[in-house]
Structure 1
Amino acid sequence: MKRGKKYQDAVKSFDKKALYEIKDAIDIVKKNATAKFDETIELHLRTGCDGRHADQQVRGAVVLPHGTGKSVKVLVFAKGAKADEAQAAGADFVGGEELIPKIQNDGWLDFDVVVATPDMMGVVGRLGRVLGPKGLMPNPKAGTVTMDVTKAVNDIKAGKIEYRLDKANIIHVPVGKASFTEDQLSDNFRALMGAVNKARPASVKGQYIKSAVITSTMGPGVKLNVTKITE
């Protein structure tokens, strides 16, 4: 894939083969985030897990201290008092069975996170084929299947993100925006790595995090020294 001049210049500004400390890596990534929009800073962690085994799945959620820099639209499946509670907490959309055809037939997906009370999972389960592939299915491990809808909505709006293995056993997560300060990005990174390290499955032998790369939306990836981020 042919890259533009800005990208080529960015690549020349640091050693692509070197392993950097997080502070230095963030500095490089921020300097090379030169797009006309506020680029997202992303972290990609290649793990030693085998997600085909249930006991080696890594999935969870963490509230980033400084948020993601993105406003998140939350859909809550709830009824009665819990629906009122979700609305009061600031959920963007609240509903139940009546939303099924809108999502299934009309292709409505104008939301970023789905929360559901446990009693609504029978309804939400019917949307598995639509929500599942997009990573939108509510899950107890991520705190999105809960009776405490107020906390769920508040946490998501405050910058809660979900992390999980993809099919290649890699975790892809945002850690903020290029406009964030180095300290804000470092705080978010530390909170995220603390959660990911804690989620290490007991059955994983050998190296848990095999490699880590931090990058901006349009910029090149900077490799991290993994021994420092898994301590």
Structure 2
Amino acid sequence: MARLTKKQKEAVAKIEKGRIYSVDEASALIKEVTNTKFDASVDLAVRLGVDPRKANQMVRGVVTLPHGTGKDVKVLALVTPDKEAEAKEAGADYVGLDEYLDKIKGGWTNVDVIVTMPSVMGKLGPLGRILGPRGLMPNPKTGTVTMDIGKAVSDVKAGKIDFKVDKTGIVHASIGKASFSADKIADNANELLQTLMKLKPTAAKGIYVRSIYMSSTMSPSLAVDPKIG
């Protein structure tokens, strides 16, 4: 087992063993226990009482964080020429079609989100083996396959994220940066949690939100009260 550094020991000491924190308390404390030299990401891990193997218990959705993610999200807009100006004006980092499809075929995936049009999806099908595992395949359910390219790009740049329960029943999501104020971290956390509550599958029985943990890059995790109002 790796030894803890002095700073890591100090961080752990600030966390009360066995205590479950409120969102506001955790959002303030996470700033105190983060000791990286870079601006660390703040993440939530929410364990849900669902069986993701069953289609009627799959939890997937999108949320626009009120204060954004703090990340510079790189967006590729795969569009026809008549939509290129709209995509560029909205802030897309890369805009085009065939040349980028060829780059992706060659293994290029240096983007965070891909936005496209319904008419282009047919061309993306063969690239599923490349884009799928990286979470880059556009999906109408997340608003990344649409004719309103400008809005889709703007939403992503403003802090819209998509999330999906993994095979162990946990939703992982980045909700900001350690440099954010505690209030902003709490606002973003509450927005994600309230969105998750609205997506509770009718087929899910028993307790829906089993546990919530907040952490930042390389920090200890904080148990957060799973009772969401």
**TM-score for the superposition, normalised by structure 2:** 0.95
Unaligned stretches of 5+ in structure 2? none
**1:11 maps to amino acid:** V
CA positional deviation for 1:4 = 2.8
Alignment deviations for residues 100-155 of structure 1 (CA, whole Å, 9 cap, x no partner): 231122x2111100111111111112111011111111111111111111111001
Structure 2 Cα separation of the partners of residues 193 and 32 of structure 1:
22
- The count of corresponding residues between Structure 1 and Structure 2 is 228
Confirm or deny: 8 A CA contact 1:96 1:123 kept in the other structure: no
Amino acid at match of 1:27: A
| TM-fit CA distance, 1:221 | 0.2
Deviating beyond 4 angstroms after TM superposition, the runs of 4 or more aligned structure 1 residues are: none
* 1:14 aligned onto 2:15: yes
Hey, what does 2:87 align to over in structure 1?
86
Listed one character per residue, the Cα deviations across residues 20-52 of structure 1 (whole Å, up to 9, x for unaligned) are 111111121110111111111100001111111
**Alignment root-mean-square deviation, CA:** 1.3
**Corresponding residue of 1:100:** 101
Matches within 5 A, 1:200-219: 200-219=200-219
Question: Map of 1:67-82 to 2, 5 A cutoff?
Answer: 67-82=68-83
* Residue of structure 2 in register with 1:220 after alignment: 220
TM-score, scaled relative to structure 1: 0.94
Q: Residue type of the partner of 1:187?
A: D
What amino acid is aligned across from residue 99 of structure 2 in structure 1?
E
- Identify which range, 80-89 or 131-140, moves more after superposition: 80-89
Residue 33 of structure 1 aligns with an amino acid whose one-letter code is T
What is the alpha-carbon distance in structure 2 between the residues aligned to residue 143 and residue 217 of structure 1? 28
1:148 and 2:153 aligned: no
Whole-angstrom CA distance in 2 between matches of 1:14 and 1:164 = 29
Counterpart in the other structure of 1:158 = 158
Aligned to 2:167, the other structure's residue is in SS state coil
Identity %: 47
| Deviations 1:42-64 (CA, angstroms, capped at 9, x unpaired) | 00001111111111111111111
Q: Matches of 1:98 and 1:36 in 2, distance apart?
A: 38
